[in-house]
């Protein structure tokens, strides 16, 4: 590091301009932090609502301006310096400096790393062809929207939330959609089988050609543009464009290189502190050491961890204990999740999936871990209390839709 | 001019010109009130834009809450008769002078 190159000094540098980073800045001011704050964002845009990208924004039903998390003047009045369009490439925890790939050096008193993740890229042969899209940033989405009018056949690779939400949008605007999933069901990593089967049926009923147990062998192209997706089983599917949603790689390289403990995400304690002094890590790229041992990729997690870190920086140490929640919108289906189903050993289906209004309740050793609620906000709301109490409850009573979830007796674990 | 008045959790009342066509949630957020988290961005998936309609201009009326909105509000410990999710209320001229209180955080 060459201190003579020091560009600016800030009392708190926040790396990442998503939900986590912007909420950190707002929460610092709400908590009375009076020092200087810089928010370094890789994208050129004001912080925006990312989940809308694969839903309303892709569908063209929401303008970008309506997705801004805060208006432009908010940042000015809160005296938060927005340093946008900058990638942080290195961290020197001894000199307390972050370096951007544009060669700027910013010193920090405290740092909050909220850099999120980058989409995991295809690595098979042909993955460098033109016509392959990801949905993680506004730029990704804009590039996709630009080519949509000329694309009739779309192959989506990955049956997670992003892939399924995109499939719903594409069917709505009349595209031919084939969705390729490597595992034997969609949403296999996040939801129980009843939820997977329900969404598979819904997508198929709306014309999505869903291929489970299907691995992509290669992509083939004509004149440098993708034209076919070849499966390992040998079949080739014609594609004008390919949309890939196979997860994210947490953006933690510079922090790990600086000595922070972690691997697939940076390990943090209950106050979102990393193993490096005065560096916090939050959101998609943070892994709570005393949690379930996974990173949680959600707006709720990013926002609530931001508040935890901001308060700790202001001297108010309040352990992170927010109940996770999540949502997904596909077609006219609203799914709301409360709790984490990690490690569940049984599930109860409450209501009939054929009615398109039901919930799946996840239990471990008889205690409620989580619920996935389809078009059932009441179950979602009432289920939260069961999750918070780790309620031990009769499965037959849980399945009985003639009773509301808040009318059932339970024992607290 | 169509004005919105917002009572923050410290009791202070703040008035500003609202933007017609945007939701009350978007108006409150865009006016810089950071107490209103509005985490789901206005798609009726959470209840973090919960407000109380303290005063409604005479002759103005609000859209009837949907079943989903009502059920989400049921989950709040701070639900009152005048509770609404501000993302579900489009702001128009007839609502000029509306007074909104930001509900406590659940």
Model confidence over A243-299: pLDDT tens digits? Answer: 999 999 999 999 999 999 999 999 999 999 999 999 999 999 999 998 788 899 999
Question: Which member of B41, B44, B72 has the closest CB to residue A51?
Answer: B41
Instruction: Using an 8 Å CB-CB cutoff, list chain B residues near A69.
Output: 29
B100 contact A CB<8A: no
pLDDT of residue A193: 96
pLDDT of residue A5: 62
Domain positions in chain A: 8-118+248-314, 121-244, 332-399
pLDDT of residue A383: 97
Strands A97-100 and A105-113: antiparallel
A209 contact B CB<8A: no
Predicted model pTM: 0.95
pLDDT of residue A7: 81
Q: Are the C-beta atoms of A82 and A70 separated by less than 8 Å?
A: no
A357 contact B CB<8A: no
Report the phi/psi class of residue A361: left, alpha or beta, with left for phi > 0 and alpha for psi in -120 to 50. Answer: beta
User: How far apart, in whole angstroms, are the C-alpha atoms of residue A369 and residue A387?
Assistant: 5
Q: If pLDDT is split at 50, 70 and 90, which confidence band does A6 have?
A: confident
Mean model confidence pLDDT for chain A: 96
B26 contact A CB<8A: yes
**Cβ distance of B34 and A71 shorter than 8 Å:** no
End-to-end alpha-carbon separation of chain A, Å?
53
User: How far apart, in whole angstroms, are the C-alpha atoms of residue A179 and residue B53?
Assistant: 45
CB count within 10 Å of CB A130 equals: 12
CATH of domain A8-118+248-314: 3.50.50.60
Cβ-Cβ pairs closer than 8 A, A with B, add up to: 64
Residue A413 has pLDDT above 80, yes or no: no
| 3-state secondary structure at position A9 | strand
A30 contact B CB<8A: yes
Domain positions in chain B: 2-102
Instruction: Using an 8 Å CB-CB cutoff, list chain A residues near B40.
Output: 51, 299, 327
Q: If pLDDT is split at 50, 70 and 90, which confidence band does A2 have?
A: low
User: How far apart, in whole angstroms, are the C-alpha atoms of residue A210 and residue A184?
Assistant: 11
pLDDT of residue A355: 97
Q: Are the C-beta atoms of B90 and B27 separated by less than 8 Å?
A: no
**Cβ distance of B34 and A377 shorter than 8 Å:** no
- Same fold? A8-118+248-314, A121-244: yes
pLDDT of residue A290: 84
pLDDT of residue A173: 96
Return all residues near A336 (Cβ < 8 A) that are at least 6 apart: A325, A326, A327, A372, A373, A376, A377, A380, B45
Rounded to 10 deg, the angle between the A377-388 and B67-74 helix axes is 10
Residues of chain A with pLDDT > 70: what percent? 99
CATH (one of 3.40.50.920, 3.40.50.300, 1.20.210.10, 3.10.20.30) for B2-102: 3.10.20.30
Chain A residue with the nearest C-alpha to that of B26: A66
Which CATH homologous superfamily contains domain A121-244?
FAD/NAD(P)-binding domain (3.50.50.60)
Instruction: Using an 8 Å CB-CB cutoff, list chain B residues near A372.
Output: none
Task: Select from A22, A74, A377 the residue whose CB has the most chain B CBs within 10 Å, as the one to mutate to test that interface.
Answer: A377
**Cβ distance of A70 and B37 shorter than 8 Å:** no
Residue A409 has pLDDT above 60, yes or no: yes
B65 contact A CB<8A: no
**Cβ distance of B30 and A71 shorter than 8 Å:** yes
pLDDT of residue A291: 77
Q: If pLDDT is split at 50, 70 and 90, which confidence band does B1 have?
A: confident
Residue A237 has pLDDT above 70, yes or no: yes
Q: Are the C-beta atoms of A119 and A136 separated by less than 8 Å?
A: yes
Mean pLDDT, rounded, for B11-35 = 95
* B75 compared with A1, residue with greater pLDDT: B75
Its CATH class, for the domain covering A332-399, is: alpha beta
Return all residues near A113 (Cβ < 8 A) that are at least 6 apart: A15, A16, A252, A255, A266, A274, A279, A280, A281, A282, A285, A286
A214 contact B CB<8A: no
Q: If pLDDT is split at 50, 70 and 90, which confidence band does A4 have?
A: low
CB count within 10 Å of CB B81 equals: 6
Instruction: Using an 8 Å CB-CB cutoff, list chain A residues near B30.
Output: 68, 70-71
**Chain A, window 226-265: residues with a beta carbon less than 8 angstroms from a chain B beta carbon:** none
A329 contact B CB<8A: yes
User: How far apart, in whole angstroms, are the C-alpha atoms of residue A330 and residue A314?
Assistant: 40
A356 contact B CB<8A: no
Chain B residue with the nearest C-alpha to that of A303: B39
User: How far apart, in whole angstroms, are the C-alpha atoms of residue A341 and residue A393?
Assistant: 16
Least reliable range by pLDDT among A4-8, A54-58, A237-241: A4-8
**Cβ distance of A73 and B32 shorter than 8 Å:** yes
Q: What is the pLDDT of residues A78-113, one digit of tens each?
A: 999 999 999 999 999 999 999 999 999 999 999 999
Q: Are the C-beta atoms of A182 and A163 separated by less than 8 Å?
A: no
Q: What is the pLDDT of residues A185-219, one digit of tens each?
A: 999 999 999 999 999 999 999 999 999 999 999 99
Chain A residue with the nearest C-alpha to that of B76: A381
Six-digit token pair at A405? Answer: 């979830």
């Amino acid at each position: 590091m060459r201190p003579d190159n020091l560009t600016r000094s800030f009392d708190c540098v926040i790396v990442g301009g998503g939900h986590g980073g912007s909420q950190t800045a707002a929460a610092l001011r709400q908590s009375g932090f009076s020092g200087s704050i810089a928010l370094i964002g890789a994208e050129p845009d004001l912080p925006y609502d990312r989940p809308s990208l694969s839903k309303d924004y892709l569908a063209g039903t929401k303008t970008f301006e309506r997705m801004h998390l805060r208006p432009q003047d908010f940042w000015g009045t809160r005296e938060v310096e927005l340093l946008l369009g900058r990638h942080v490439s290195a961290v020197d925890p001894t000199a307390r400096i972050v370096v951007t790939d544009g060669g700027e050096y910013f010193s920090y008193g405290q740092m909050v790393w909220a850099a999120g993740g980058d989409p995991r890229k295809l690595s098979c042969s042909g993955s460098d062809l033109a016509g392959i899209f990801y949905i993680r940033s506004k730029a990704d989405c804009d590039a996709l929207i630009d080519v949509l009018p000329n694309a009739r056949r779309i192959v989506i690779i990955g049956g997670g939330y992003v892939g399924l939400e995109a499939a719903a949008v594409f069917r709505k605007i009349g595209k031919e959609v084939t969705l390729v999933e490597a595992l034997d069901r969609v949403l296999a990593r996040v939801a129980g089988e009843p939820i997977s089967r329900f969404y598979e049926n819904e997508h198929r009923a709306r014309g999505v050609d869903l291929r489970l147990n299907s691995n992509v062998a290669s992509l083939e192209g004509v004149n440098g543009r993708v034209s076919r997706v070849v499966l390992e089983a040998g079949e080739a599917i014609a594609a004008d464009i390919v949309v890939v949603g196979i997860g994210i790689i947490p953006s933690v390289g510079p922090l790990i290189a600086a000595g922070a403990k972690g691997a697939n995400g940076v390990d943090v304690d209950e106050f979102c502190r990393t193993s490096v002094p005065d560096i916090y890590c939050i959101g998609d790229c943070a892994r709570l050491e005393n949690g379930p041992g996974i990173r949680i990729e959600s707006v709720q997690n990013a926002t609530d961890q931001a508040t935890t870190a901001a308060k700790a920086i202001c001297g108010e140490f309040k352990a992170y204990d927010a109940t996770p929640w999540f949502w997904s919108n596909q077609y006219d289906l609203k799914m709301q999740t409360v709790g984490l189903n990690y490690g569940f050993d049984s599930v109860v289906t409450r209501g009939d999936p054929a009615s398109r209004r039901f919930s799946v309740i996840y239990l471990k050793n008889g205690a409620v871990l989580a619920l996935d609620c389809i078009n059932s906000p009441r179950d979602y709301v009432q289920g939260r209390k069961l999750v918070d109490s780790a309620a031990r409850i009769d499965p037959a009573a849980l399945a009985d839709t003639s009773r509301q979830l808040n009318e059932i007796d339970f024992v607290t674990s | 001019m169509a004005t919105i008045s917002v009572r923050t959790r410290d009791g202070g009342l703040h008035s500003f010109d609202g933007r017609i066509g945007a939701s009350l949630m978007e108006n409150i957020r865009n006016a810089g009130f950071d107490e209103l988290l509005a985490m789901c961005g206005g798609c009726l998936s959470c209840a973090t834009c919960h407000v109380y309609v303290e005063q409604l201009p005479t002759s103005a009326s609000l859209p009837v809450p949907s079943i989903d909105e009502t059920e989400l509000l049921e989950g709040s410990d701070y639900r009152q008769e005048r509770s609404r999710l501000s993302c579900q209320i489009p702001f128009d001229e007839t609502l000029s002078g509306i007074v909104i209180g930001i509900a406590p955080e659940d």
